[in-house]
A and B are shown apart, each in its own frame.
Chain A
Amino acid sequence: MATHLHAPHHRVEDFRLVTGTGRYAADWNLPGQLYAHFVRSDRAHAEIVAVNVEAARRHPGVRRIYTGEDAIAAGYTKWFVILNYPGRGGMQIRKPMRPALAARRVRHVGEAVAMVVADSPAAAQDAAELVEIEYRDLPAVVSPEEALQDGAPLLHEDIPGNLAFEYEAGDEEAVKEAFARAAHVSRIKLEVSRVAPSPLEPRACTVAYHPGEDRYHVYVCIQGINMMRRQLSVATDVPEDKIVVHAQDVGGSFGQRSAAYPEYCMQMLAARELGRPVKWVSTRSEGFMSDTHGRANTITGELALDAEGRFLAMRVDWIADMGAYLSATGSASHTRNPSTCLTGVYRIPALYGRWRLAFTNTVPVAAYRGAGRPDVAYAIERLVSQAAWELKMDPAELRRRNFIPPEAFPYKTPTGSTYENADFPGVLEKALRLADWKGFAKRRARSERAGRLRGIGIATVIENTGAGLFPKDQVTIECGADGTVTVYSVAQSSGQGHETTFAMLVADALELPLEKVRLRESVQEKGLIGNHTGGSRSLVGAGSVCRLAAQQLLAQARSAAAEELEVEPSQVEYSRGVFHVRGGREKISLAALAGKRRLALTAEASVGSTFPNGCHIAEVEIDPETGVSRIVAYNAVDDAGNVINHTVVEGQVHGAVAQGAGQVFGEKVVYDRASGQMLTGSFMDYCMPRAGLLPEIRLEDHPVPSKINVLGAKGVGESGCTASLPALANAVMDALRPLGVEQLDMPYTPARVWHAIQEARKGVR
């Protein structure tokens, strides 16, 4: 009996979240807690000549002030980096030393230099203003391309050329040979802007140290307790089992919340040394200059085609900005993810990619919704649409001609990944109908008559969901004597709706009403192995195991019921929470059974990557007088595998498309080239998307179920970003190309679009 699945279902967590009764990181308060405030660098690159904390120390209420020397003395200088594979020519990734508080040198504006711990937040902040830091300025470099050039200011003395890592994938020679015989070559150089992810919830952390148990309790915004614990342990050398991470609600994560930040480690040190809990809540301004940034890739792409428009080869040269230090995820996100999907949805016989990861005097870059996949899809899809324009072909037809056909799956790509299954032509045709692709010429003519430029953009994309950092996902399930089933998972939700979707999977398997099933995430006492939420994997991983756990619980209960009813298990039938003896009148409920016996177990599975894919088609209208772009239509067809809850899936796609639109039309972190100062340090200058940016998004699904997980799910958290960046950018380019604009980078702000139009009209381009 499938009572719950595949239907729209409102989220059960929303009442709590929208009525202010959620519990976010800053909502945790512990008796006797002290407050931390961080003194941050106002320089992009400078030697620290002296730090004078005497005046600050004398300020009333100050308990202790920590500086970089304390961080070094504690040994808090090494950080967890998930990248664990060799690069080009066997190169190992170069991990710079990063004291949890800057010592001797600062490398970006906002880097924490000192921590004041005091009795109140105000006392800590007041004292922080009394900390005197003497700097000797060094030349700064904020552009990754410039950082890699000879003679660029060097950030880390032991890392030559500011090069963190060089990586390659594919067959360089085969690509060279294919380009030599190509009938047409398209080239593009793109910038995927650096963005400040800006979750609604600011970062916050409270740490308590319990000397009796010798354990640290860390209350913090996370994507998963195990990932946070692993990183804190690497940075502080405190064993993982001595760190207990607590979280209930997380207000947005986007990759940025997976990191163990230096602030948390310093709070651990202070909590132990001072014997009192230490709390810190970030301001939005601090967030801009200390929370990890996203994207920040410069990509040069080339596509070789034969005379019939068939792709022969593609190569990319990719410069990834890592910022001043390595985050846990940035380096792997911007090499392995794009190389996994380098062929896109196309059969391209020869592929080659080369990646260089650069250090710059900027905030470190980490995974950000899609984590390299939107970036590579952006490069491929911009290139393909440009090729169609150059060859005077319909961009849909050029795609159709080059798709990996359905019968070719499982498809081994030239860069070594294996796509499980997909129906690209089916997805495309559905999207073309949904978007009325054929009617575009009429709509464009109508816009023209009103003095506006109209463009249509298409993107057909694929991405790999995360295989996971931990080897398996475990879920514990328990049935109480009141008939309530509690499910424990370590994949923390930060808006994905796990409490609804995972509960549906369990309630459906157990034929129980949804309210009888409760999900509890991030309960460390359960000791579960499992991955954090990231890489669109939590339904595929933890969700699948929830389903397995429910099925196994039912089997366990059936055996127990058979014993209680004194029949063979095969004689026991189950329906809606009650076991019956077949053909008899004896019965026992799940609740009654749980009152007599322990009904509980831990299920597990190792679930690899799935490959969600889709086709998004956007239309924009541009006012040439002001350069303002308006999204006038957005259509999306996604293959996310089997959809468990349409409401949640639509919410994920809406949010991700809006996030992509925000980046395409407004968001960009800008640093001053000379001083290294951040010029977009608040929402006055950093343009977040507003609700009015998007029209109604029209969605359809086209599920080709995955076979690698019991749900047939493929993951959907990030695909909206992956598809919307190229779909929207292609729409803008389609509107501008007829004027002679050949290439324009995001963000398509009114000023940038207007200037492009002016220059094209002047014939400058």
Chain B
Amino acid sequence: MYAVNYVRPKSLAEAAKFLARNPEAKLLSGGMTLVPTLKARLARPSHLVDIARLPELRGVRAAAGVLSVGAAVKHYEVATSPVVKKAIPALAELAGLIGDPQVRNMGTIGGSVANNDPAADYPAAVLALDASVVTNRRTIPAADYFQGLFATALEEGEIIVRIAFPVPKRAAYAKFPHPASGYAMAGVFIAQTAGGVRVAVTGAGPGVFRWKEAESALAKSLKPAALEGAALDASNLNEDIHASRDYRANLVRVMARRALEKLSGRK
């Protein structure tokens, strides 16, 4: 790790001001990706601005059909929150599948969504639930937010404050973890929302994406058999020493079916 200065602002405004004055500073919100990157000397920020304890970024609330999760809420908190479990049990379940206990007790939802790792779990829920990423400047719909491999709509100095999830009728997530890293090799989040059935896939491609063909098929029937005819273009999926495109495409289908089976079990 290169030498780096650590600061912990007391408020969101102070954090934003600090970032504006220090363009080489990086936000720290759990650090489950950033700290290993620093240790490997792959990044050299001037400052680490720790926002994981900012009061404005804390808290979980459900009201008026929206579940609002503060950006600094940890995976463990989401996994065990009675509010989340009641509103969107699939989201609590997803959070409980991230990493290991150490990661879940350090990593935050805002940190994960800001990083947009193509194999992270949260982006699948954010996209499938048509959530909004609320920042200190604006509200970004999920459809505009994710822009591929580690790329998002966030501007310089913009800070995620919370994620607002419209509560769906039903939702479910099925994940196939990478045998070595534990990240999603394929994760499929299916949500039955007011706007119809939405299917988001993480881990298999260069970024989270909606599987539109599956959505169309499921609009007609929510039976697992409906998925069989849904086309899936494997040519856009990832291929590496761990898994071929074909294998990942298969995992997407299997995880989608398993998510659907879970969905049918939910009221």
Contact = CB atoms under 8 A, between A and B. Distances in A.
A709 to B, nearest CB: 42
Interface string B248-266: 0011001000000000000
Contacts of A679: 241
Interface stretch (A342-350, A565-573, A746-754): A746-754
A626 B3 contact: no
B102 interface: no
Given A749-B179, A754-B247, A285 B40 contact: yes
A625 B242 CA distance: 17
B241 A685 contact: yes
Nearest to A285: B40
Interface in A748-762: 749-751, 754-755, 758
Contacts of A754: 247, 250
Contact of A749 (B2, B181, B242, B246): B242
Q: Which of A122, A126, A679, A754 has the most CB of B within 10 A?
A: A754
Contacts of A680: 241
Nearest to B1: A122
A666 B247 contact: no
A687 B179 contact: yes
The A interface, classified by DSSP as helix, strand, loop or mixed, is loop
A665 B40 CA distance: 28
29 contacts: A122-B3, A285-B40, A625-B250, A625-B254, A626-B250, A626-B251, A627-B247, A666-B179, A670-B241, A679-B241, A683-B180, A684-B180, A684-B181, A685-B180, A685-B181, A685-B241, A685-B242, A687-B179, A688-B180, A749-B179, A749-B242, A750-B247, A751-B243, A751-B244, A751-B247, A754-B247, A755-B244, A755-B247, A758-B246
Interface string A379-391: 0000000000000
Given A626-B250, A680-B241, A751-B243, 19 more contacts: A122-B3, A125-B41, A126-B2, A625-B250, A625-B254, A670-B241, A683-B180, A683-B181, A684-B180, A685-B241, A686-B180, A687-B180, A688-B180, A749-B179, A751-B242, A751-B247, A754-B250, A755-B244, A755-B246
A687 B242 CA distance: 10
Interface string A658-693: 000000011000100000000110011111100000
Contacts of A751: 242-244, 247
A670 B242 CA distance: 10
B254 A626 contact: yes
Contacts of A758: 246
Interface residues of A, number: 25
9 smallest beta-carbon distances between A and B, as pairs: A687-B180, A684-B181, A751-B243, A751-B247, A687-B179, A625-B254, A670-B241, A679-B241, A666-B179
B263 to A, nearest CB: 18
A562 B176 CA distance: 74
A126 to B, nearest CB: 8
A575 B174 CA distance: 67
B213 to A, nearest CB: 20
Interface string B163-197: 00000000000001001110000000000000000
Contacts of B251: 626
A670 B3 CA distance: 33
B252 to A, nearest CB: 11
Interface of B: 2-3, 40-41, 176, 179-181, 241-244, 246-247, 250-251, 254
Contacts of A750: 176, 179, 247
Contacts of A683: 180-181
A670 B180 CA distance: 13
Contacts of B40: 285
Nearest to B39: A283
Which of A285, A626, A666, A755 has the largest count of B CB atoms less than 10 A from its CB?
A626
Nearest to A672: B241
B4 to A, nearest CB: 12
Interface in A693-740: none
A684 B2 CA distance: 22
A694 to B, nearest CB: 15
Contacts of A627: 247
A125 B2 CA distance: 9
Contacts of B250: 625-626, 754
Nearest to A125: B41
A749 B176 CA distance: 13
A666 B180 contact: yes
A199 B47 CA distance: 34
Contacts of B242: 685, 749, 751
Interface in A584-626: 625-626
B180 to A, nearest CB: 4
B168 to A, nearest CB: 26
A463 B181 CA distance: 35
A688 B182 CA distance: 11
Nearest to B242: A751
Contacts of A688: 180
A116 to B, nearest CB: 15
A763 to B, nearest CB: 17
A23 to B, nearest CB: 25
A685 B242 CA distance: 8
Given A685-B241, A754-B250, A626 B179 contact: no
Nearest to B40: A285
A109 to B, nearest CB: 16
Nearest to B183: A684
A626 B181 CA distance: 17
A302 to B, nearest CB: 31
Interface string A117-156: 0000010011001000000000000000000000000000
Interface in A625-674: 625-627, 665-666, 670
Contacts of B181: 683-685
B42 to A, nearest CB: 11
A627 B244 CA distance: 13
Contacts of A749: 179, 242
A77 to B, nearest CB: 31
Nearest to A122: B3
